[in-house]
């Protein structure tokens, strides 16, 4: 299979992870975090929180209840981190080296998203994966992120049904998670969808259909 190589010191300007080969893999399958990675994750989480706060602020700046606003921002950030950590965990479980790194282009796009009402592109960094592997493993690693957001979107949708008093907040979270999934499942270029499509077109189609349905249902009340 074709191999993509990226120097660890200068990762690609992609919005998701990339697979690299010249570095030793982590053979024991343990989930490990370096101090550098924790610093990068912390900065990324703060940017994601700000993006979440700006989403509600632009939606209705004069009737914001600040306690749920902060909670929303935290869950918003957690949804982004869950996507990235899902990539990391699956990769490390397969014995590969995997760590999150900030990305200059992604940080700029995230900052722009904070400053404008729509669209929200929250991608301050990516999980970098190193180690020799195959299409199937790459596909599973790629699928882990979108599937995590699809599951979160489904849970938040159930919450919106059974907790109508928090319906607006929960619906925004459904939209955000399903949007992350749809966006990353685009089957081109550096997106997760391209790697999943190369592995299994059936798996890609099911994941994309699920995320697209969740997104359509969640945004329908705002049309």
The pLDDT tens digits for 116-148 are 877 778 889 999 999 888 999 999 999 999 999
Reported as a pLDDT band with limits 50, 70 and 90, residue 64 is low
In eight-state DSSP terms, residue 98 is: E
- The residue assigned the tokens 């190369």 is 198
Tell me the residue range of the domain where 57 lies.
Answer: 19-218
Check if 99 is active-site.
no
The winner for highest mean pLDDT among 12-21, 63-72, 115-124 is 115-124
The answer to whether residue 7 sits within a structural domain is no
Of 43-57, 75-89, 126-140, 188-202, the poorest mean pLDDT is in 43-57
Question: How crowded is residue 120: how many other Cβ atoms within 10 Å of its Cβ?
Answer: 22
The structure's pTM equals 0.82
Which pLDDT belongs to residue 164? 87
Ramachandran region of residue 30, left (φ > 0), alpha (ψ -120 to 50) or beta? beta
Let me know if residue 13 belongs to a domain. no
Residues 4, 37, 84, 99: which is the catalytic one? 84
Is residue 104 domain-resident?
yes
Torsion of CA 41, 45, 48, 49, to 10 degrees: -170
* CA-closest candidate to residue 204, choices 135, 156, 155: 135
Give the pLDDT of residue 60. Answer: 63
Q: Are 195 and 140 in contact (CB under 8 A)?
A: no
Q: State the total domains in the chain.
A: 1
* Beta-carbon contacts of residue 218 (< 8 Å; ≥ 6 apart): 153, 157, 171, 174, 175, 178
* The pLDDT value given to residue 103: 93
Lowest-confidence region among 36-45, 65-74, 97-106: 65-74
Query: What distance in Å separates the CA atoms of residue 212 and residue 208, rounded to the nearest whole number?
Result: 6
43-72: average pLDDT: 75
Average pLDDT over residues 163-168: 82
Structure tokens at 181: 């999934």
* Kind plus residue range of the DSSP H or E element containing 97: strand 97-102
- pLDDT, mean of residues 104-108: 93
In a domain, 5, yes or no: no
Instruction: Please check whether residue 126 lies inside any domain of the structure.
Output: yes
Q: How far apart are the first and last CA of the chain?
A: 45
Please indicate, yes or no, if residue 97 is contained in any of the structural domains.
yes
- Residue 85 lies inside a defined structural domain of this protein: yes
Is residue 14 scored above 80 in pLDDT? no
**Considering only CA atoms, which of 170, 163, 172 is closest in space to residue 56?**
172
134 assigned to some structural domain: yes
């Amino acid at each position: 299979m074709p191999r993509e190589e990226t120097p660890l010191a200068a990762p690609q300007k992609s919005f998701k992870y990339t697979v690299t080969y010249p570095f030793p893999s982590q053979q024991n399958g343990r989930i490990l975090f370096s101090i550098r990675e924790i610093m990068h994750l912390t900065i990324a989480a703060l940017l994601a929180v700000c993006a979440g706060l700006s989403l509600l602020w632009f939606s209705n700046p004069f009737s914001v209840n600040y306690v749920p606003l902060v909670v929303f921002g935290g869950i918003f950030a957690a949804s982004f981190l869950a996507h990235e950590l899902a990539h990391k965990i699956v990769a490390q479980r397969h014995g590969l080296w995997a760590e999150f790194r900030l990305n200059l282009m992604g940080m700029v796009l995230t900052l722009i998203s904070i400053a404008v009402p729509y669209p929200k592109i929250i991608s301050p960094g990516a999980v970098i994966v190193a180690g020799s592997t195959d299409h199937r493993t790459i596909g599973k690693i790629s699928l882990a992120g979108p599937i995590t957001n699809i599951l979160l979107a489904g849970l938040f949708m159930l919450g919106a049904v059974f907790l109508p008093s928090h319906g607006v907040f929960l619906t925004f979270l459904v939209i955000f998670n399903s949007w992350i999934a749809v966006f990353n499942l685009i089957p081109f270029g550096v997106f997760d969808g391209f790697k999943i499509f190369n592995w299994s077109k059936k798996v890609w189609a099911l994941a994309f259909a699920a995320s697209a349905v969740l997104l359509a249902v969640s945004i329908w009340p705002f049309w």
